[in-house]
Amino acid sequence: MVDPGPLGVALAALPTERHPDYGSQARRLLRELSPTDEQLTALVDDTANPEQIRFNAFYCLQARAWRRKDHTRHRANTDRHQAEFGHHPMFFFMQAEYYASLDEDPVNLEAAMRFAEQAVERLPGVPGVLHLAAEVRADYADRQAVPDRDQLLAADRHVRQAIAISSGTYPRYHATLARICTLRGDFPGARASIARAIDAEDSSDPEYALRLGSYQLIRSRIQYVQETEQLRSRQEEASGELRRIRGQILEIMGLLAAVIALITTAANIASGQSAQAAGGLMALTGGVVLLVFWAFHLLIVDTPSGRRGLAALVLGVMLVVAGWAQMQWGPTNARTGSDQFLVEDVQ
């Protein structure tokens, strides 16, 4: 058995995996004692040590690899120790990290989301677990043409819960919230969250420049997405205006065609007809033209407004009825007048 020394004592003093401060105290141990990877690996491999000490050493080893973005080492450790540590609730969290660190294939992100949700079910009060579940969902939504609103809502709920449990002390959580707000279209909330992340980041941290650079990228993306959304909105307004102008042009063309048809028909009807007969035919023709124009507007242009459409319909029907009624007795009177003229000519 390898003498664990102060490192082993500190590892044994860590809270349980279900405690909200488990991850933060493990990272504090890494900062204060600065154990080497070899020391942690020796404690993990020594089966004479209590399992909880071994697992705590394994978690510290994984947390350091993840923070350094040494994903190859992280995945190798996960594969190596899955059989003996796979029953620990926190191991589902590490498996979610495992698949999230693979290539950007949606299948890997879907697997990461499944493991992250399983970790949340087992460790619902651990902010790091909640944050990873939100972060993985945000990564998945970034790669979708149209993000799933339910997925974004779940991610938003997880990260806000993580911020509340940790009292807002982790800038990275605010940065993730900014990403999710951007995907949801809440640009003021996104800008406020990324500003909090930048302000809260510790400038004495060795990785300050790297983190600040990632925050600035998020801020630039917020601006880009907002401007893109505004441009799309203006394009939709312009398209609507073009459709409205096209409808007006079609209305004018239809009206001109109706007027020309009415004039032509009136000229043909008026020739060789009496005034009453011509008047009835013209009224009938005008009503038919008005109804045809109304139907043209309804089908081709758009649904007419209530009062104007109803007025055009009623007027067209009235003209048709009036013209038809006049046609019923107009020609008889015309023939009577013609007979009188013939009698006078004979006399």
- Model confidence pTM above 0.85: no
pLDDT at position 330 is: 55
191 touches 219 (CB < 8 A) = yes
- Tell whether the model's pLDDT for residue 337 goes beyond 70: no
187-198 pLDDT tens trace: 999 999 999 999
Q: Could you tell me which of 200, 206, 162 has the C-alpha nearest to residue 180? A: 162
Q: 59: helix, coil or strand?
A: helix
What is the CATH T-level fold of the domain 5-233, as seen in this structure? 1.25.40
Residues 40, 59 contacting (CB under 8 angstroms): no
Non-local CB neighbours of 182 within 8 Å, separated by 6+ positions: 190, 218, 221, 222, 225
Domain ranges of the chain: 5-233, 245-335
Q: Which two tokens stand for residue 107?
A: 């299948």
CA distance 82 to 116: 16
The number of C-alpha atoms within 13 Å of 126 and in the hemisphere containing its C-beta is: 26
Which residues make Cβ contacts (< 8 Å) with residue 60, sequence separation at least 6? 11, 26, 29, 30, 35, 40
| Beta carbons of 140 and 151 less than 8 angstroms apart | yes
| 283: confidence class by pLDDT, cuts 50, 70, 90 | confident
The answer to whether 125 and 20 have CB atoms below 8 angstroms apart is yes
Contacts of 168 (CB under 8 A, 6+ apart): 174, 196, 200
The per-residue pLDDT for range 44-103, each reduced to its tens digit, is 999 999 999 999 999 999 999 998 889 999 999 999 999 999 999 999 999 999 999 998
**Gap between the Cα atoms of 3 and 238, Å rounded:** 75
C-alpha 22/C-alpha 52 separation (Å) is: 13
